[in-house]
Amino acid sequence: MKLNSVPSLLSALVAAATTAQAADVGSAFYGDAPDEHHPWAIHDHNRPQPKLVTPGTFSSQDQPGKPPSDAVVLFDGTDLSQWEADQGEGQPTKWVVKDGAMECVPGSGYIRTKSKFGDCQLHVEWAAPVKVQGESQGRGNSGVFLMGLMEVQVLDNYDNPTYADGFAGSVYGVNPPMANALRAPGQFQAYDIVFRHPIYKEGVALDPGHVTVFLNGVVVQDATMIEGGTGHKARTKSGPFPDVGPLKLQDHGNPVRYRNIWYRSLPPRPAQGGTDGYLSTEATRAKRAQIAAEIREDAAKLKDPNNPLPEMLRLAESLVYDQDEDTMGKAQRLSEKYMAGLQTLTPEQLAGKKDEIKHLRDICKYLVKSGSIPEDAPAKLLLDQMIKEHNWDKKK
Ligand code: MG
């Protein structure tokens, strides 16, 4: 991961160093510093920008919507090239494609993706047969199996009661949907699912995983904890999932149709090595050291024999993430050089630097507060003294 480009850092540093009101967003020394569970400061301008995604469009009954730009399309209504029978590898499925949708051929078995994936945002649209046949679990039954293991139930529950934990939008046999927001049979229903698989380490759940489901835009599962793979009649058993698995769609004996199937992979959680969120102290320490190392690399590019300030500030900034004696020494030498430069200025020139000097003192205060430099750091003492001598803290 790359930090912000040097030019943008330079402008942030210049802003930080030269503007009296620079203690604002964009300054390196602004929000609460990193702590033992958060490697980033509050409003940290070193933190990577969110990736750009062009949003898609919503579907109508007549036309499927367009997926977001970074989606992996699993079925676009044309062919089943990305799917196979859920039997031996490479076995063709008997499901058919008709009118822009794939249709389950009863008795042909489940269908699965050839590719495997894990945590995702998944979009699936399905339609129960127009001709209503059967009741309860026998009417328009199919299922979306995340990683092939956990079923979000597909069922025609339009005017068709069944057991609550087997409704459309249920985590089958585990948790009923919070609402029945189904359209009439024959119409396409949309599932938008956020899935996080269980993560275990040496038999202990680091994160049990969870699933959130929207049915036609209505939330029906809200971060429901995953209690294991789902099944019929039997209570699920918690346990690890593999990292990835195929998406499966169920053949439950009804010609249910599907269209517009795509997913987006999700970034890792802290339990998978992700660095956003609440981290362990160990992971936080490692990430803080990495951020500091990258800042120090940038600092080296700011070296300027005529102006020690940008490099000094960048090095000081790195100390907020990670203490390092070498860096402390370098920053100290640069600050001495800067202070020596101030001594050569005429009183008028020095007065012209009042705002810069006061802001540098504020930065020192920030560094002391965050435990990055000691209270009696020479640079801070000198700046304090200079500001006191010139009475620059006095309110007009
Ligand atoms: Mg089912």
| Neighbouring-strand partners of residue 120 | 195, 265
Ligand 1 midpoint to CA 66 (Å) = 27
Which pLDDT score is estimated for 20? 37
> 10-residue block means of pLDDT along the chain (396 residues)?
42 44 61 97 96 98 98 98 94 97 98 98 98 96 98 98 98 98 98 97 94 98 96 92 97 98 97 95 98 98 95 97 96 95 94 95 95 93 94 82
Which pLDDT score is estimated for 8? 44
Ligand 1 midpoint to CA 64 (Å) = 23
Ligand 1 midpoint to CA 152 (Å) = 8
CA distances from 17 to 178, 282, 298 (A): 54, 33, 17
Domain with CATH 2.60.120.560 in the chain: 72-272
Ligand 1 midpoint to CA 59 (Å) = 24
Which pLDDT score is estimated for 396? 61
For residue range 84-94, what is the model confidence (pLDDT) as tens digits?
999 988 999 99
Ligand 1 midpoint to CA 254 (Å) = 10
Ligand 1 midpoint to CA 141 (Å) = 5
Ligand 1 midpoint to CA 105 (Å) = 15
Which pLDDT score is estimated for 245? 98
Among 200, 224, 222, CA closest to 210: 224
Torsion angle of the four alpha carbons 263, 267, 270, 276, in this order, in degrees rounded to the nearest 10: -130
Ligand 1 midpoint to CA 244 (Å) = 21
Which pLDDT score is estimated for 181? 98
Question: Is the separation of the CB atoms in 169 and 177 below 8 Å?
Answer: yes
Ligand 1 midpoint to CA 264 (Å) = 24
Three-state SS letters, the chain: CCCCCHHHHHHHHHHHHHCCCCCCECECCCCCCCCCCCCCCCCCCCCCCCCCCCCCCCCCCCCCCCCCCCCEEEECCCCCCCEEECCCCCCCCCCEEECCEEECCCCCCCEEECCCECCEEEEEEEECCCCCCCCHHHCCCEEEEECCCEEEEECCCCCCCCCHHHCCCCECCCECCCCCCCCCCCCCEEEEEEEECCEEECCEEEECCEEEEEECCEEEEEEEECCCCCCCCCCCCCCCCCCCECCEECCCCCCCEEEEEEEEECCCCHHHCCCCCCCCHHHHHHHHHHHHHHHHHHHHHCCCCCCCHHHHHHHHHHHHHCCCHHHHHHHHHHHHHHHHHHHCCCHHHHHCCHHHHHHHHHHHHHHHHCCCCCCCCHHHHHHHHHHHHCCCCCCC
Ligand 1 midpoint to CA 103 (Å) = 15
Which pLDDT score is estimated for 7? 41
| Neighbouring-strand partners of residue 265 | 120
Ligand 1 midpoint to CA 101 (Å) = 19
Which pLDDT score is estimated for 89? 87
For residue range 98-124, what is the model confidence (pLDDT) as tens digits?
999 999 999 999 999 999 999 999 999
Domain 72-272, CATH 1.10.10.10 — does that match?
A: no
Ligand 1 midpoint to CA 369 (Å) = 58
Q: How many CB atoms lie within 10 A of CB 79?
A: 10
Which pLDDT score is estimated for 28? 84
Ligand 1 midpoint to CA 257 (Å) = 13
